Structure 1
Amino acid sequence: MDQLPGKLIDLNDVGSGDDPKPKLLIKTGPMNVMRLVLSAGKSIAEHKAAKEITVQCVAGAVEFTTMGETLRMTPGTMLFLPPGELHSLMATEDSVVLVTKAN
């Protein structure tokens, strides 16, 4: 991670390759910010985070399942989950998702 305070981060610069890996963009004492690049049809199985998280759709569209319902996330939408809440997601289009996790 080479991000410096006060500098722009291009969330759409996903590089090349068939299956880009999650990229840790910011790591500080209180939080981590990670970018996920998901090709259409790719899913992330049900899991949970130990602390609070926010999830924001930057590009594309994902079906996000949590708390007994599936929500369609599109650019400009964001959600918050409390610690330990089970969730999963599936990209319905090539997508970029930003996850902020409390440490």
Structure 2
Amino acid sequence: MPTYDYLCRGCGHEFELFQRMTADPEKKCPNCKKLKLTRLIGSGSGVVFKGSGFYQTDYRSESYKQKAAEETKSASSEKSDTKSESKSSEAKPAKADKPKKPKSE
């Protein structure tokens, strides 16, 4: 069941009402008892998950998070080590001399 926002045009009272989608909109203000109540167009609400997790992978344990952090650190340090080694071991190839074309006169 959705929550609807209401506004009284008589007294300015605003409130939310939890009611069925098939229910008729309320017309009588609970504050001033006048028939000037208007249902507002709301943005709706998000889904609220309560309880002890819906998927086991949603709530990782602290030990899992620590291992994952260590793995990313070691992987990044290995990449930087291999990059520095490859740069130092690479020798720049000598430029091949191009044969000179004879000048045509």
Structure with the higher fraction of residues in strand conformation: 1
Larger Rg: 2
Report the TM-score when normalising by structure 1: 0.22
Higher RCO (CA 8 Å, separation ≥ 6 residues): 1
Structure with the higher fraction of residues in helix conformation: 2
Report the TM-score when normalising by structure 2: 0.22
